[in-house]
Chain A
Amino acid sequence: MTETTVINFFFTFRVFLLGGILLAYPRISRKGLMFGTYLGEEQVDGPVADKLMRDWDVGCALVMIFSLLVGWGISLSGHPLRGNLTGTAVLILASIGLYFWMYGKTRRLAPAGAARQAMKASASLEVDKSRGDRFAKLALVICLLTALGSAAYATLSYQALPDRIPTLANLSGFGDELADKSFVAVLLVPSFNLVFSVFFALMALLVARAKLSLRGGTGGRSAQAQDSFRLAYSHILSGMALFLCLLFTVTSLEMIRIARGEAESFGLSLLWISVAMIVYALFSLIRIMKRIGQGGARLEDGSVEAPLSGGLADDAHWLLGVMYVDRTDPSLMVESRWGIGYTFNFGNPIAVVLNVIYLTASLGLVALTLMELGLFS
């Protein structure tokens, strides 16, 4: 199997996978919400909502076909990697455009009574005894210690490394890019570990403590459904954090071994860890979408007729249906209106600081990597 075939296969797989997830998104959301807008529990069962869903399905199919045509067209002209990247970029941008188009259509249908509904909010009086954040805490400690440990090991090994060290590997595991030896080059992978795996673990911890958005007067059924979703989603993020930590740690250790001449290539360990991580993420997400639904939507049973309340029903605090900004709400993370998972409350200064730190760190690392590879020179 040639590298071109593998790239084309993964591109096609990615288009169908992302397209499938997009098709599923409006079907797993909390009842009353559509395309990032609170339409009300009654209206989402009506003909208007059916028409919106049909438009979405057709739009998704067109986006997938268009991105496949672009990707395969470029690939067949002799540039498979460029075709892969361009096709994926087209898919992402077209999906975002499609969402905003649907958001605009849905927003015009939002009922006037939603603002009144948003004035209500419910909360459970039971203290969480399940200790849902235990796994996330454990993942955070493991990721932090492992990342710091691998950074320390790379620093201690620095003297013994040759003048040129491997930085990138191809699919067969052989290093195909070399960089001059420097502390930046040696500490890049442990830094990625520190930023990305620790970030996932931190997200898992914050999600485990995220705000529950209850339906009023449902006697706690809604709270239980959401608690299940919150726990499951936090576990997925914790698992992803551990996979990323394993991937970066193995990469860092293998790079040092190859540089020292103790190994010829990265072997297939990185490929297998990556495949296992992708399979884990996919199966976990599909499972949670199918069994629990966004915010526990599939477990709410009889309580779905009760109207949503609080921030989730409040169109005034949602920017384009995806960004929640409420300065009076002390919560850090809230349930997303669109897609699966949680989002930050950008009205909370801590959320803004966290995002700025994360963006600066990740963009800085990418810039450093590109500099080390000589792409800026």
Chain B
Amino acid sequence: MLTITIDRELGDAVYVQVASQMRRLIASGAISPGTPIPSVRQLSRDLGVSLNTTARAYRMLEEEGFLVIRDRAGVTVAAPAEQIGDSARLALLDELRAILARFRQAGIANDELLRTLQREVGALDGGRRGVRS
């Protein structure tokens, strides 16, 4: 059974923690496309957070293409896009550049940065293979 955990003592807002954990689980294939996930109300109740907090995380994930939210059918995991538009690609590239800049500013050398990148991409692929097998 997959679970997510929030920690109010961490610097990140709770909705950011919820979104980042779900993003990781979906991208790694731990939750496959089409799988229903708990409603905003249920997840809020189980985490003991306000409805707005969970709704904000879900809206963010919907905008990023990780979730499909329908009133009656509930919330399901979206399939990865088959094609990406130019503007979306540019937006993602901008985000990547911003993150790379933060790594550089944090004093992380290029070698280490590349190794980290390879490891993380490998972890995503490994997760997918693990789920498929």
Contact = CB atoms under 8 A, between A and B. Distances in A.
Question: Chain B contact residues: over half helix, strand or loop, or mixed?
Answer: mixed
A330 B1 contact: no
B4 interface: yes
A330 B3 contact: no
Contacts of B123: none
Which of A116, A126, A209 has the most C-beta atoms of chain B within 10 angstroms of its own C-beta? A126
A162 interface: no
A332 B45 CA distance: 8
Question: Chain A contact residues: over half helix, strand or loop, or mixed?
Answer: loop
A43 interface: no
Contact of B3 (A127, A209, A220, A328): A220
B5 A122 contact: yes
A331 to B, nearest CB: 4
A73 B113 CA distance: 83
Interface residues on B, range: 20 to 34
Interface in A198-223: 209, 211-212, 214, 216-221, 223
Interface string B30-50: 010000111001111111111
A268 interface: no
Contacts, number: 91
Interface residues on A, range: 20 to 34
B49 A328 contact: yes
A326 B48 contact: yes
B60 interface: no
A121 B2 contact: no
B1 A123 contact: no
Interface of A: 116, 119-127, 209, 211-212, 214, 216-221, 223-224, 309-311, 326, 328-332
5 contacts: A119-B7, A125-B3, A209-B45, A216-B5, A332-B45
The 9 closest A-B pairs by CB, nearest first: A220-B1, A123-B46, A119-B8, A331-B45, A329-B48, A122-B5, A125-B2, A127-B36, A119-B9
